[in-house]
Amino acid sequence: MSAENETREWWSKYWNKLLGSIIVLPIIMHFWPQAVPFKFFELWKVKGAMIDWLIGSWPLLLWGTALATLAALSMGPRRRRDPEVHEFLIGGTLHSLFAGVTEEIAFRWLFFMSNIVSVQIANYCFFGFLGFGITEWFHMHLVGPIANWATFKALEPYIFHSSSWAVGASIIATNTFFRDGHKYQGFFGWVNSWFGGMFLFWIMFKFGLPIAILVHFLYDFLFDIIPATHMAMRRK
């Protein structure tokens, strides 16, 4: 399958999952409240103070600063058709804001909540009705431990959530889909997005979804402000 077809297929899955989450998830949570160990808007609650958000988010923002600086330094010479600095900055800022809001609402909230239900259904279908679900076993003994090790156990309370294994399985499933949406960035972007997505899950659990939106926006904004500053200095 070509990269273009893969991207088209991913977006098709994205819109189907988004529509399904918006319509089906509230219904399931109303009639089967025990399926999801969170209230519908619980993750939107903001926790901590601004200093806590800054301290918590600095690794991702520092990493973004380093990548954005490398990207800016690797920019080629100015071409006649290049946008002006203010046009580049305004367009990039709007794009970063849009991505931060929409991606966090989709992946860290709607897809995450709906996948908690999905992994339980999958587990029931794959012998869970006999008391030995393959999906649960894989999460608890293989996928979960690997993800926990790769994230330096920072997400351990959530990957192995006290209420249900399905919470951790949903984190990994949702973040895998998030990662696959960045295949167009190449192998490095594919791997980088997985770790970035897991870090944003940690931010969301620690400080709330609005702070994850803010951090996501700031991370993307670094790839606007740093190259724009470099462009302005170079043209001056």
Q: What is the mean pLDDT of each run of 10 residues along the chain (236 residues)?
A: 82 94 94 93 96 96 95 70 73 93 97 97 94 95 97 97 96 97 91 97 98 98 88 71
pLDDT of residue 207: 98
* Count of CB atoms situated within 10 Å of the CB of 21: 20
Sorted by sequence, the CB contacts under 8 Å of residue 115 that are 6+ apart come out as 169, 170, 173, 174
pLDDT digits (tens, 9 = 90+) for 132-141: 899 999 999 9
Average pLDDT, the chain: 92
**Token code pair at residue 13:** 């899955």
**Token code pair at residue 87:** 């046009």
pLDDT of residue 51: 96
pLDDT of residue 1: 62
pLDDT of residue 236: 60
pLDDT of residue 81: 53
Distances (CA, A) of 171 to 116, 122, 153: 8, 15, 14
pLDDT digits (tens, 9 = 90+) for 1-17: 677 888 889 999 999 99
Contact 89, 230 (CB under 8 A): no
pLDDT of residue 165: 97
pLDDT of residue 75: 73
